[in-house]
Amino acid sequence: MSEPKACTTKPRVVCCIGDTHGFYTKLQNLWSNLQTTIDPSEFNAALIIFLGDYCDRGPDTKKVLDFLISLPSKYPNQRHVFLSGNHDLAFAAFVGVLPKPLDGSEFSVAWKEYEANEEREGWFKGDGYERMHLQGRRWAGSIKDKFNAAKNTQYKGSIYDAEPTFASYGVPHGSADLVKAVPDEHKKFLADMVWVHEEDDVCVETEDGIKHCKLIAVHAGLERDKDVKQQLEFLRARDTRVPKIEALSGRKNVWNIPKELTENPTVVVSGHHGKLHIEGLRLIIDEGGGKEERPVAAVVLPSMKIVRNTDVLAN
């Protein structure tokens, strides 16, 4: 493993913000706490990476998207990156703004792989379903058994807990009317989300001082047993031929940093997992997991400081 270079100039601040899941007030409070924590000149010039999952579970998806869309004009010297989470990809699929498959095929070609789940998950069959990516159908579907045994909770409408997102736009869960109710600027936001973001040079505080590293931000993580270069090419291209994108929705297979990335020190930062986990350069920032009683968190580089919406900070 090659040694990361030491930072000699003052490094740019990078804030990586975990899954919001429709909790607008939490996002507002977290943003306020980041402003209070970080020197104003550094905050106003920061790189802000949102790690995805802006919708579902919480009550205010529409307000969350309004807030995110407003940031570039309110903070013109910041740089904002909006990663797609698996929930956001499904929302985008339902409102018809995902890029078309690169080979020109129909989204329906990929349904077959998961059709054994269709009845249990109650896939959407309303207006426009024939042209919809699988995840859009699952997102707006009506789950048959409302109890989620894995989480000991009730599903909110669908396997994705999408009912609160529909409600935030004033539409009943599973209604095709959502396509008209979502404003064009929200559709553009969903259409423009990236599946991966890469930085060649960020600084991270380590036991040996502040070091230069690469950074890869992706909602769930990179698959440990697949060639990293191929994975990154696929994610940059947003290849929607695939019905389920592991880097956005995987679990155990995307938890660790792929071995080849440890040869050139690389920070891999994700949300998705419903945990706050920092191990070396693997950062998983999703303390909230979309649960009302849990905080939304961010990690600030290079300091590796964790900031939460629940922090009580002196002004």
Positions annotated as catalytic residues are: 87
Rg (CA), the chain: 19
Q: What angle do CA 251, 252, 257 make, to 5 degrees?
A: 105
Distances, alpha carbon 203 to alpha carbons 42, 200, 301, in Å: 14, 10, 7
Q: What number of residues does the chain have?
A: 315
- Mapped onto helix, strand or coil, the DSSP state of residue 134 is helix
Q: How far is CA 70 from the centre of its chain?
A: 18
| Backbone angle region of 161, left / alpha / beta, with phi > 0 → left and psi within -120 to 50 → alpha | left
* DSSP letters for 66-122: HHHHHHHHHSTTSEEEEB--HHHHHHHHHTT-SPPPTTS--GGGGGGGGGGGHHHHT
Task: Please enumerate in sequence order all residues whose Cβ is within 8 A of that of 153, keeping only pairs 6 or more positions apart, or say none.
Answer: 147
